[in-house]
Structure 1
Amino acid sequence: MRPTEDPPLHPLRIANFRAYWLSRFAGTVALSAQGIIIGWQVYGIARQTMPINEAAFLLGMIGLVQFVPLFLLTPVVGLVADSVDRRWIVRGTTLLLTINALMLGLLTWADRLTLPFLFAAAVFVGIARAFSGPAYSALAPNLVPRESLPTAIAISTLAWQTGTIAGPSVGGLLYAIHPDIAYGTVAGLFILALGLMFLIGKVPQPAAQSDRHPLQRILDGFRYVRANRLVLAAITLDLFVVLLAGATALLPIYARDILHVGASGLGILAAGMGIGAAVASLWFSFRPMKTNVGAKMLASVIVFALGILAFGLATPITAAAGLAPATIRLPGGTPLFVHPTFLLSLVALVLAGAADMVSVYVRTSLIQLHTPDAMRGRVSAVSQLTISASNELGEAQSGLAASLLGPVGAVVFGGCAAIAITLLWSRLFPELKRARTFDPPEILNVEPQHGVAQP
């Protein structure tokens, strides 16, 4: 009888990966909690002296000031991630984020917080993320065997997405209790993430190239992405879809001036996409996707856009249907206040989050498995640039669109535009539909004589 192959080792059975996973989870919770708090504080301060449209534009600018340093540093940070011990890059940036959170907490406690301070803190976050993102992404494949990598990516993304559940919820709810408690929790989580990174032992690091000029090596990452059409398609599709349909930047406006649910409601809304994403990523951690990965990615992006569209239309739908807030009596007589628009908005965000997780899972797996280890830092830097462009520039786009079209009009426009982009990409990049599995078609050669790994 023919012996069966042993199943791949589960990543969480590897001590280094466990420490990495917990560190990423704690850091993501802290970063996303701090992000929702900064957005709430910016919008709150702005609304003291500005109308909604001007305050919405200013809220969008928070994303822009985080993107600019990341954009300027992208050519450098990828090279750093391929040349310097990736563990120390993450440790250093986590320490800087801890200091930043402590400063914001101190200024809030002293009632000295101003818009310039908040924007300066956002720039600081952008610089730290520019270095930590490629290092984090490139470090994960060094911690597990290749056959365990798809599962590692799924549960690594689970840490990130679960952090987006806990982060905004923790940030919004604790800020509603007291701002000092919220910032103290953020700083404590950063310290925990830093400590866990020190538990990771020495891991393989690709040898730094000494025979090529640093500028040539920087350009190699961009050349590789351009040459590998599958990687290029996956990266750019996410860029344009999230850039246009990034409704999460407008959540403070919805919570304060449309749904009137305050900081606690903001935390629940912000957690909506994370809830859906966590459910999907938990599924993939036990049942990794194996077939028709490209077609499933395209379908998931369409569903994501439909979820965003439903979120934008929740208010006019409930108004047209004449649905008003109501009180329902639970068994035992306990009253439950039901807000139809809020519930519909939350369900739409959960659906969008689950679909987005499918897209993230496929895109991340394709990029990691189709990229040689010696170039993962640089390719991850290019990927992070597009992700940040879609997220942070998406916030700026959402703020500008909201100032022109109103918050509801901006979200609906973004959802429709994202559907159109996905259909266009399916025609421009047939490689996406033809991608059946995550495995590259052939073994990747690492940086041949022309400096670019052949896809």
Structure 2
Amino acid sequence: MIALGDGTPGSGAVTCGRVPALRRSGTVHAPSYDPFAALRDGGFRWFAASRLCSGAGQTLLQAAVAWQVYQLSGSALQLGLIGLARFLPALLVSLVAGAVADRYDRRRIVMTAELVPVLCAAALMLTTRLGTVGLPLIYALVFAVALASAFENPARQALLPQIVPRAIFLNAVTVNSTIQQLAFVAGPMSGGALIARAGVQGAYAAVAALYLGALMSLVPLSPRAEPGERRAVSVAAIVEGLRFVWHRQVLLGAMTLDMFAVIFGGATAMLPIYAEDILKVGAGGYGLLTSAQGIGALLMSVVMVLLPPVRRTGWVLLLAVTAYGLATVAFGLSRSFPLSLLLYGLTGAADQVSVIMRQTTIQLATPDALRGRVSSVSSLFIGASNQVGMVESGLVAALTNATFSVVSGGLGCLAVVAAVAAGMPELRAYRVDAEPAAPGAVDRRTAASVSLTSDPGDPSPRPAGTPLPQAGEARRSTGPVPESPRPCRPGKPG
């Protein structure tokens, strides 16, 4: 068993997951890939424990709220409005939240944000128990939790590079995504059981406890202070982040593909209807159904942890979203509960591939000074895809039926993939090791000419398109060869 460390960066059992370099006639051989390098870092383990608790609390809260709203209203439109209540805060404050994350202590921002769902879940538990809960109160508290999450998400994403050394950063992103999916499986699965046995108020009590655990797990962390001046929160700072994303077609393309594909293809809002009216499996089946997507994502994430990082991320991203659309169409047509579980699990597996491709691209292509703001743009895209998708599917189902909403959404997802693949060849051809970082670039031609390498051991400029050494390849040393591995110097991921 790996014990939690003291919370400081690099306090794990080994140094950055590296294997000592071999000295062979001036050639330095790349270390072998260690899929568990991040888990050997004490600070990352505390960070991961917090993400596990908050992720489980988040999905458990979503499942409980959706079930309670449908029981109170019996309306597909009211289910869709939950998505609107979650998305509006992201739309209103996400960009400001990114600038805040680049200006203030990111750990304190996350801890403050985690306190809000503790209080809101306690309020839902109490009012449900007293019989005074109503739809306006539910929507108001969902809005409050979403507002806190809008500040938490960019701060948490930008916090990770301050905790783990750059040498294991890519591994940390993948492992963190795996832990997040584990939480997304545990939340809905336990939610179905809690609702069936203890009622919705029991689920809300568990939500409060989980978020409190997430908050306390951040207390031992000692994030590394990044050098340089922190820019004040201002309109100019926000615009700077937007321009960086806009002028990097790969970032913009990946975010756009994810947003519109999930807006059309997301079936989350329809799950209570499928469980209750179409598949007729009740609360227990609803819990399994809401967990199926997370299980598929978790299994795929484990596979991706064990394998070396994918290089052709653009092509793999397009394939993954195509698979997501096809599985969504099949799920919408299925009337077999076991088949529906399998198909919904496949949507999770495909979506997880696209998530890791997108997160890796964003982290490697963004300098530390802009990381909070770029992460906020990404969070805005993610919020739009998930929450606007719930509104869209609810409206379509209200005008037609749940089956038409899900099937037409899957077909719309496939249409988006075709349009992006045809109209954005740079995304289709993108490779992680060939993309220039260009931290200060705001012009495509400038960004395409000269950039900073993403190789942490080579700070010199590299012409655009020059591939970095692949894992396992030997790199010819241009200077003295060290007898032992150099200390892991925390750096900026791209």
- TM-score, normalized by length of structure 2? 0.82
Q: Which residue of 1 aligns with 2:373?
A: 378
Q: Post-superposition shift, 1:290?
A: 2.9
Which residue of 132, 142, 163 maps to 2:183? 163
| C-alpha distance 44-79 of structure 1, shift in aligned 2 (>3 A) | same
Q: Secondary structure at the match of 1:198?
A: coil
2:24 aligned with 1:29: no
Identity %: 38
Alignment of 1:33-432 (within 5 A): 33-47=60-74, 55-179=75-199, 180-205=201-226, 207-210=228-231, 214-315=234-335, 341-432=336-427
Within 2, Cα distance between the matches of 1:411 and 1:365? 29
Deviation string, structure 1 residues 252-283 (Cα, Å, up to 9, x no partner): 11111111111111110000110010011111
Q: Post-superposition shift, 1:104?
A: 0.8
Deviation string, structure 1 residues 124-159 (Cα, Å, up to 9, x no partner): 111011000111111112222223222111111112
Q: Is the 8 A contact 2:230 2:369 kept in 1?
A: no
Q: Is the 8 A contact 1:172 1:263 kept in 2?
A: yes
Within 2, Cα distance between the matches of 1:87 and 1:37? 28
Q: Post-superposition shift, 1:308?
A: 0.7
2:462 aligned with 1:442: no
Deviation string, structure 1 residues 275-325 (Cα, Å, up to 9, x no partner): 01001111112213333221111101100111111100102xxxxxxxxxx
Deviation string, structure 1 residues 87-106 (Cα, Å, up to 9, x no partner): 11110000111111111111
For the aligned residues, what is the CA RMSD? 1.9
What amino acid is the match of 1:108? Answer: T
- TM-score, normalized by length of structure 1? 0.88
Q: Is the 8 A contact 2:77 2:398 kept in 1?
A: yes
Q: Which residue of 1 aligns with 2:47?
A: 20
What amino acid is the match of 2:415? Answer: A
Within 2, Cα distance between the matches of 1:60 and 1:88? 33
Q: Is the 8 A contact 1:102 1:187 kept in 2?
A: yes
Unaligned runs of 5+ in 2: 1-23, 452-494
Unaligned runs of 5+ in 1: 48-54, 316-340
Q: Is the 8 A contact 1:277 1:350 kept in 2?
A: yes
Q: Secondary structure at the match of 1:439?
A: helix
Deviation string, structure 1 residues 355-397 (Cα, Å, up to 9, x no partner): 1111101011001111111111001101100100110111000
Q: Which residue of 2 aligns with 1:324?
A: none
Q: Is the 8 A contact 2:266 2:390 kept in 1?
A: yes
Q: Secondary structure at the match of 2:29?
A: coil
What is the aligned length? 419
What amino acid is the match of 2:46? Answer: A
Within 2, Cα distance between the matches of 1:405 and 1:192? 42
Within 1, Cα distance between the matches of 2:355 and 2:223? 28
Within 2, Cα distance between the matches of 1:205 and 1:250? 44
Within 2, Cα distance between the matches of 1:443 and 1:293? 15
Deviation string, structure 1 residues 66-104 (Cα, Å, up to 9, x no partner): 111111102210000111111111100001111111111
Within 1, Cα distance between the matches of 2:144 and 2:227? 29
What amino acid is the match of 1:182? Answer: A
What amino acid is the match of 2:399? Answer: L
What amino acid is the match of 2:378? Answer: S
Q: Post-superposition shift, 1:112?
A: 1.4
Structure with more helix by fraction: 1
Q: Which residue of 2 aligns with 1:322?
A: none
Q: Secondary structure at the match of 2:387?
A: helix
